[in-house]
Amino acid sequence: MGSPPASSTRSPKVSLIDSVPALQQFLKTITPCSSLYLDLEGTNLGRYDGTLDIMTVLVPPHQEVRLLDIKTLGKKALAISPPEDTTKTLKSILEDPTTVKYIWSARNDAAALNWLFNVEMRGVLDIQLLETLTRSNDNGNNNKRRDISLDTAVERDLQLNAQEQARWHKLKKKFHGRMTWARGLFSSRPLDARTIRYCAGDVRYLPLLQKVYEERPVYNAQFLETLRMASAARVLQACGRGERKRTRPTASQRRSFGTLTQISPRGEAFAFPRAGGQTAYRGLGSTLVPKLVFLARRVIP
């Protein structure tokens, strides 16, 4: 596999969006055909006592990374709309199944949006799952269920030049070191330059990783459908964690995810159609996504 083109790995422009007019202007640039590369940051992100402070967004073909300052904008951030289109908000975009959202490991992001803003994410393609599904058996690696981190994926799969590899590794190592002794790095205001660079780094390589995994020999249209199903299951599973969510999915969730989340007569949350018209039911246990990956590896050569 060759190295990504030099133009693809240049540091992108980064803009901080922390005012209503700036957010309105950004929303106007998103069309129904847009694809969003997302990452969320906060303290204890995705937990019942957590916060959501920053939403980092990359919208190709523009190479500008936007940091949406959710902490400063407050809960109204997801309800703000441009004057020309009062129906277009961050919430409506995140819930629109036709607007694809690419995320590396959607669990905590989806849970935080659901818990804190009552957002039911749709149209998610989890690039971490894409890597797992397309992973080969080379070098005797038979563990299809082990997810890898974004740091590992960038260092192992992108073949960056030595200078950029060192810059990425240094940025991550230093910031992770800060996180061990300083809490609330994502909620401190004003945001410092190191935090901004860290957040931007978590989305800038996602399009390249997607391209690398889609070029693996086993990738095909059937894989894409499997990825959609597995990503939707991961999102729903994440939103089902905790005492507040120990119930069956809502009607809107069932409509959103189709047959994957039909409620069975036994009260279970997931229904998978089988050949011959039979249906196999699965609950909301932590083994659901690994089962999907395992089944995909068996049915797709």
Give the C-alpha separation, 125 to 198, whole Å: 22
In a domain, 244, yes or no: yes
In a domain, 234, yes or no: yes
pLDDT, tens digit, for every residue of 58-97?
999 988 999 999 999 998 999 999 999 999 999 999 999 9
DSSP β-bridge partners for residue 65: 14, 58
The whole domain housing 60 covers 6-137+206-248
Q: How many domains does one find in the chain?
A: 1
Structure tokens at 83: 């004057």
Contact 144, 177 (CB under 8 A): no
In a domain, 149, yes or no: no
Contact 69, 56 (CB under 8 A): no
Structure tokens at 298: 């068996």
Contact 164, 154 (CB under 8 A): no
In a domain, 253, yes or no: no
In a domain, 258, yes or no: no
Give the C-alpha separation, 145 to 170, whole Å: 29
In a domain, 292, yes or no: no
Structure tokens at 34: 């847009």
Which residue bears the tokens 């957590």? 50
Give the C-alpha separation, 277 to 123, whole Å: 27
Q: What is the mean pLDDT of residues 193-209?
A: 94
Structure tokens at 157: 């799969």
Model confidence band, residue 253 (pLDDT cutoffs 50, 70, 90): very low
Cβ–Cβ contacts within 10 Å for residue 237, how many? 20
What CATH number is given to the structural domain containing 232?
Answer: 3.30.420.10
pTM of the model: 0.76
In a domain, 51, yes or no: yes
Contact 208, 4 (CB under 8 A): yes
Is residue 251 pLDDT above 80, yes or no? no
In a domain, 277, yes or no: no
